[in-house]
Structure 1
Amino acid sequence: MAVSYTQFPGHWGFDAKASPPWQMLPVGGMRFLMASGTFGLAPRVHVPSGSAASLTATESFAAGYSLLKLTGIRGGKAFIDWAPPGTSLSDPFVSEGLLEVSVKAQKLVGTAFHYVEAGRRQTTARRIADLEDMIRGANELLTPQANVRLESKSAKILNLRQRLGKVVYDAGDPEKPWKRDEWEIVTRNADPSADFNVFFVREFEDDDTPRIDRTDAAVRWWERNCILEDDTGHDAAEVLAHETMHLLRLGHSTKAAHLSAPGHLRTGTIITRDQANIINRSGT
């Protein structure tokens, strides 16, 4: 019987579509996988040359399957395979049932949050009191799948003397069909000591259709700045997590089920192996 894996519980950094299947394991954390087809076999941990990974893999039994418990000790890449008990680790991999494991140290993103007030038409409706819930929601997507964690460095009202229009435009490209570019007006107030600066505004637009509302937020990763509007088409925590992935140098996915898919396409919040390994290179 072929060895196969199912994560227990839910989707916690397991990529069944990777080859071989892949599991993210946080340093100091645990993950559980149900493994079928392992009768009479035991898990072995293989650490490739050059990797500093340290983890344990133990199994318990239930009707028809093994429950594989992985515990992360030190960051790095490793592999799990299944072999008859007593098989030496010096023996070759058993390719059937091979599982790749990335033991990832936590990547903290210290973030400064700015609540823009710039006249009646361009003052955010968001409140600092709601920020904790937004950060928690973003981390519920990022941390279990890639061990990335947002942390609030500061949160304050940003009162701009220069009044902005009804929509904050980021022209970016001088060939775009409008002249007003307000990105710099807003983001020049960034905290240079933060890993990430997030500016909340009432309305924002940055694509080639300035009069059609289809942009929730944008990031310039090289500046470490993000502008995020009030009227997001998705939950604000999901948008914040999506933009954090852009900050960490990940582009858009064409798969709707991925968290990194653009807002008009996105239907899910999955982070794959390859995406997790870009936004948090620990364990690669």
Structure 2
Amino acid sequence: VNDSGFNSGSKPFTVYIPRVNIRAHTAAAYPSTGTEVTTFHENLPLAVVLPIPTGTVGATLPTYATTSKLTFERFLPTALDEGVLKLSISDTNVIALFDQSNDRIYPTEYDLDTGSGANPLRMLTLADRIYYAVGLNPGTASVTLQYLDTNGTAVCSDSVAFGILSVDFEETAPNNGFDDTVDPPWLVVPVNNPPNQNTVKVNIEPSAVAAQVYFTIDDPAKATVSPAQASSSPQTLTLTGVAKGHTALRARVGSSSGPICKTLNVCVRDKKVVDVDFHFMQDNASNQTSRSTSEADGFVSTLNSIWMPQANVVFQKGSVDSPTVPTNLGSVVEWYPTNPANEWDDIAAFRNGSAPDVFFVWEYEQDGTPATDNADAAQLGGDILFEDNAGSQVGETMAHEMGHFLSVSPADYTDRQDQLMHAYTDVRGQKITHAQVDQANP
């Protein structure tokens, strides 16, 4: 620079043009590296979208995490030895940053003149540095690197904007074949039962990043999914069964080949048809059920409302009759191991030959205290005895006994009150778990 004027002569000036730069990459499973984001796009909102990890993020980088690789380029010019390098994270509850040693680093400043050699930003004066961004909670946040002059004025700056998302699957209706008692959850999808479809709701937070979520099926020969990309949150997906078997639906970040952020296991099941014969029993001493043969249709309807959407099991009404046992069974039809007169066999003798057979009786007990009403219904093989005083939720009780007929054993499940196979009448729910579906309709 030549300063000519009243005091003629020349004075040398050194002009420094400082530069900071962050090169961001799209999401990838650590230690893989995604695609580099252009300098223009990394400054736009939600330039990089990351899912929250499945586990806890602590002081070191979790090896299972999906990350964004950030290359912090060397601070230039090297001769500039005053001012401050400043690293900012706009929300440390949303995003965390880890260095090349997998140690977490926090917002910090480094004085180019007096800063400590242990400061993580000091290395930027010597060489490029690699950092990894990890999502913590749904939201938006940015990572910024600045150079401040000695007056604290930002001379140059570079930022990368992040959207951190969470994805969760939820049933679209109660008891529709969705099972979240396990992780990942399951969804049962029918086949050979048009339209061979089931639905699931996807909740994406924040909703502004919904369009960054894509959906793929591991084995399209077993099931398909539509749409393939979210457009809003919540997003309803339709899964269509193609062939019996197990596969998985993957929610992915950024593209159909992007890292997986959530999994829904998919169980495709063939239609299983069960013909049920109904017998409204009486004996030769005028003991008889109070139920009418016209009730058979209602029982079939309830069975199908519970079992068809959750397991693709379809019940059909078979024969309906009102046979008479040629003996006096008394006021209680009894079965228990110590009873030499096994009245169960007197009833079950009227089975139709093709299981299952439901026998409606006036009163049934199966222990040594027949005067105490301890039982409402029971199943043995293909026979089900069902008393008049079977509570108010008789449809659920019938569906429960059909579960036992379909090989769902109490030894194979944890008793939960919201589930159909809960042991107690009138307090059980209608939920059928995926494990029970695999038993009932393998």
After TM superposition, the score normalised by the length of structure 1 is 0.86
**How many aligned residue pairs are there?**
267
Find the aligned partners of 1:101 and 1:243 in 2 and give their Cα distance. 26
Q: Among 72, 75, 91, which residue is 2:241 paired with? A: 72
Q: Could you tell me whether the CA contact under 8 Å between 1:76 and 1:103 is conserved in 2?
A: yes
In terms of mean alpha carbon deviation, does 104-113 or 117-126 score higher? 117-126
Aligned partner of 1:41: which letter? V
Find the aligned partners of 1:114 and 1:34 in 2 and give their Cα distance. 42
SS in 1 for 2:300: helix
Find the aligned partners of 1:132 and 1:70 in 2 and give their Cα distance. 31
Find the aligned partners of 1:245 and 1:39 in 2 and give their Cα distance. 41
Q: Structure 1: state its 5+ residue gaps.
A: none
Find the aligned partners of 1:117 and 1:182 in 2 and give their Cα distance. 13
**1:31-46 pair list within 5 angstroms:** 31-37=198-204, 38-46=210-218
After superposition, the Cα gap between the structure-2 partners of 1:210 and 1:59, relative to the gap in structure 1 and judged at 3 Å, is farther
Offset of residue 265 of structure 1: 7.8
SS in 2 for 1:154: strand
Q: Could you tell me whether the CA contact under 8 Å between 2:215 and 2:225 is conserved in 1?
A: no
In terms of mean alpha carbon deviation, does 59-68 or 32-41 score higher? 59-68
Q: CA RMSD in A?
A: 2.2
Aligned twin of 1:258: 419
Aligned twin of 2:371: 211
Offset of residue 71 of structure 1: 1.3
After superposition, the Cα gap between the structure-2 partners of 1:35 and 1:211, relative to the gap in structure 1 and judged at 3 Å, is same
Aligned twin of 1:22: 186
Offset of residue 266 of structure 1: 3.8
Find the aligned partners of 1:233 and 1:60 in 2 and give their Cα distance. 47
Offset of residue 198 of structure 1: 0.8
Aligned partner of 2:387: which letter? E
Q: Could you tell me whether the CA contact under 8 Å between 1:60 and 1:67 is conserved in 2?
A: no
Q: Quick check: 1:81 aligned with 2:81?
A: no
Aligned twin of 1:105: 270
Q: Could you tell me whether the CA contact under 8 Å between 1:59 and 1:66 is conserved in 2?
A: no
SS in 2 for 1:142: helix
After superposition, the Cα gap between the structure-2 partners of 1:35 and 1:261, relative to the gap in structure 1 and judged at 3 Å, is same
Offset of residue 24 of structure 1: 0.6
Q: Could you tell me whether the CA contact under 8 Å between 2:224 and 2:241 is conserved in 1?
A: yes
After TM superposition, the score normalised by the length of structure 2 is 0.57
Q: Among 401, 404, 407, which residue is 1:249 paired with? A: 407
Q: Could you tell me whether the CA contact under 8 Å between 1:55 and 1:74 is conserved in 2?
A: no
Q: Structure 2: state its 5+ residue gaps.
A: 1-164, 205-209
**1:109-258 pair list within 5 angstroms:** 109-119=274-284, 122-171=287-336, 173-174=337-338, 178-192=339-353, 194-221=354-381, 224-252=382-410, 253-258=414-419
The alignment-based identity, stated in percent, is 25
Higher radius of gyration, 1 or 2: 2
Offset of residue 42 of structure 1: 1.1
